[in-house]
């Protein structure tokens, strides 16, 4: 997990050869920040957020260009523990 000087949040790790591919569904809306539990560093154009909703959790991926949101994708909903495992895998470069 790389961390630049001045960065307060983690970054998504470099891809590993055995990484699992997540299903990302495109959604129109932006995330309600109240649902965000963890997030990756905003120094990169793509920000991932671990979100909670009604006892379940999912990961949201926001792609930006020059600070303007280009697209928002979400994974399926999982139980919180499962979503947390996927979140950790994402940070380690084991999932994408
Ligand atoms: Zn950063």
Handedness of CA 25, 38, 19, 79 (dihedral sign): negative
Q: Is residue 73 part of a domain?
A: yes
Q: What angle do CA 14, 19, 20 make, to 5 degrees?
A: 135
Q: Is residue 39 part of a domain?
A: yes
Into how many domains does the chain fold?
A: 1
Q: Is residue 11 part of a domain?
A: no
Its pTM stands at 0.87
Q: Is residue 1 part of a domain?
A: no
Cα of 28 from ligand 1 centre, angstroms:
25
Cα of 42 from ligand 1 centre, angstroms:
6
| Mean pLDDT for all residues in the chain | 90
Q: Is residue 56 part of a domain?
A: yes
Kindly list the protein residues that place their beta carbon closer than 5 angstroms to ligand 1, a single-atom ion.
4, 7, 41, 43
The share of the chain scoring above pLDDT 70, in percent, equals: 93
pLDDT bin (cut points 50, 70, 90) of residue 32 is confident
Under 8 Å between Cβ of 52 and 31: no
CA distance 19 to 64: 24
**What mean pLDDT comes out for the span 55-61?**
95
Cα of 10 from ligand 1 centre, angstroms:
7
Under 8 Å between Cβ of 52 and 77: no
Find the domain containing 42 and state its range. 25-92
Cα of 53 from ligand 1 centre, angstroms:
26
């Amino acid at each position: 997990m790389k961390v630049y000087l001045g960065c307060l949040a983690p970054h998504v790790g470099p891809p590993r050869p055995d990484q699992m591919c997540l299903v990302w569904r495109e959604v129109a809306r932006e995330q309600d920040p109240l649902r965000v539990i963890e997030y990756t560093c905003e120094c990169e154009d793509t920000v991932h957020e671990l979100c909670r909703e009604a006892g379940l959790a999912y990961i949201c991926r926001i792609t930006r260009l020059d600070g303007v949101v280009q697209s928002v994708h979400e994974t399926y909903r999982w139980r919180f523990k499962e979503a947390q495992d996927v979140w950790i895998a994402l940070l380690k470069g084991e999932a994408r």
